[in-house]
Structure 1
Amino acid sequence: MPAGVAKRMRRQKVLYDGEHHYDVVLGEQALYTNVGGPEVMLGQIERLIGETGLPSLTLGILPATARVRDLFPVPGFNIYGAGDSTRVHIELASSSVDITEPGELALHEKAFGLLSTAPVHGADAASLLRKAHAYWSTVPVRG
């Protein structure tokens, strides 16, 4: 597990290089899925709060009650390539998948477009982050 964390941290450095831009849609329920305990969750949410002002990041949070039209639940995915996608990356429990076939790329771009119609941004997203932070601040830490 530590090697995976280190790899993800290296990938996140591009948030600060000034050469990339990321449009992220995060489901509100992810703010409450207890991965690592309250301390880890607080740290993750604090990092999101701190990075929402980065010019390289557009963070949208999909409220748990938001209606997403014409889309069934899909696993998380990353689209690489600006406007003209070169690949889609999906991390699985035991491996990962890279998709490069044009029809599949177009399908994932369409899915992201549909997901992008429902999230909140700016002050509304910050409000959801503060609400989740307040929740995790009250959860007792268990050893």
Structure 2
Amino acid sequence: MTPWQQRLSTGTEDIQDEVIGWYRQTRHGKAFVPTVILRQVVEFLGVPDDVPAGVAKRMERQQVLYDGEHRYDVVIGEQGLYTNIGGPSVMRGQMERLLQDFDLPSLNLGILSRTAAMTMIPKPAFSIFETGEGRRVDYELVSRGVDITDPSEVALHDKAFDAISSAASYGDAAEELISKALDHWSR
């Protein structure tokens, strides 16, 4: 568990390369993003500003959504649609991108409504990946990333994701929640 400031001491591009590798190896990934969609880490952590390279890498990692070989189940907390990171124009762009990718066959996008009845208390954002060494759960905390590889703990995260995703809205209901957020950011 190396602190972010140390891992990002040369910028964000190397970390993005690592994550791209996880995405490419993962045929069926899962992610729970409860509060924010986009993060601004460069200024906050005081690491080298290579934002254009980092953005290019993030776009590269999204290409797995279009190759027909991968599938991702993603649940975003409704609050994440309204947490103002970057201002209204950035948030509008985020909502437009979600709506643009909403019908991709490789993406099963759910929105966890702020009033959804839960069988568990949602924890911080996490992603479940496959790697050459097996499945892993990735948490991005404020100060460092945490990787969980113990099979019993990964299985517990699968169970948690199932509970969260069963409470989420999908299809027209999820699209309506995103459209409401887009309307909010367009005012």
For residue 80 of structure 1, report the CA deviation from its aligned partner: 1.4
What letter is aligned with 1:23? D
Structure 2: where are the runs of 5+ without partners? 1-41, 43-50
Which of residues 20, 42, 46 in structure 1 aligns to 2:96?
46
SS at match of 1:78: strand
Distance 1:7 1:101 in 2: 28
Could you tell me which runs of 5 or more consecutive residues in structure 1 were left unpaired when the two chains were aligned: 139-143
State the match for 2:157 in structure 1: 108
Deviation at 1:35, TM superposition (A): 0.6
Structure 1 residues 92 and 4: CA distance shift in structure 2, 3 A:
farther
User: How far 1:12 sits from its partner (Å)?
Assistant: 1.2
Aligned to 2:184: 135
Secondary structure of the residue aligned to 1:55 is coil
**Per-residue deviation, 1:102:** 1.2
Q: Which amino acid counterpart does residue 99 of structure 2 have in structure 1?
A: I
**How far apart, CA to CA, are the structure 1 residues paired with 2:57 and 2:150?**
26
Q: Is the counterpart of residue 122 in structure 1 residue 122 in structure 2?
A: no
Which of these residues, 22, 40, 59, is aligned with residue 72 of structure 2? 22
Question: Which of 88, 99, 102 is matched with 2:137 structurally?
Answer: 88
Name the count of aligned residue pairs: 134
- Determine the C-alpha separation between the residues in 1 that align with 2:135 and 2:90: 33
Task: Write the mapping of 1:52-63 to structure 2, written as runs, cut at 5 A.
Answer: 52-63=102-113
**Any idea what the Cα deviations from partners look like across 1:37-66, whole Å, max 9, x if unmatched?**
000000000000000110000001111100
% identical aligned pairs: 57
1:98 to 135, 141, 147: 147
Q: Taking structure 1 as the reference length, what is the TM-score of the superposition?
A: 0.88
The alignment status of 1:5 with 2:79, answered yes or no, reads no
Q: Describe the shift of the 1:103–1:6 C-alpha distance in structure 2 as closer, same or farther (beyond 3 A).
A: same
> 1:30 and 1:124, CA in 2 relative to 1: closer, same or farther beyond 3 A?
same
TM-fit CA distance, 1:4: 4.1
Structure-2-length-normalised TM-score: 0.68
2:39 matched residue in structure 1: none
Q: Secondary structure at the match of 1:74?
A: coil
Q: 1:40 to 1:12 in 2, by over 3 A?
A: same
- Measured in 2, the distance between the counterparts of 1:123 and 1:72 equals 25
SS in 1 for 2:167: coil
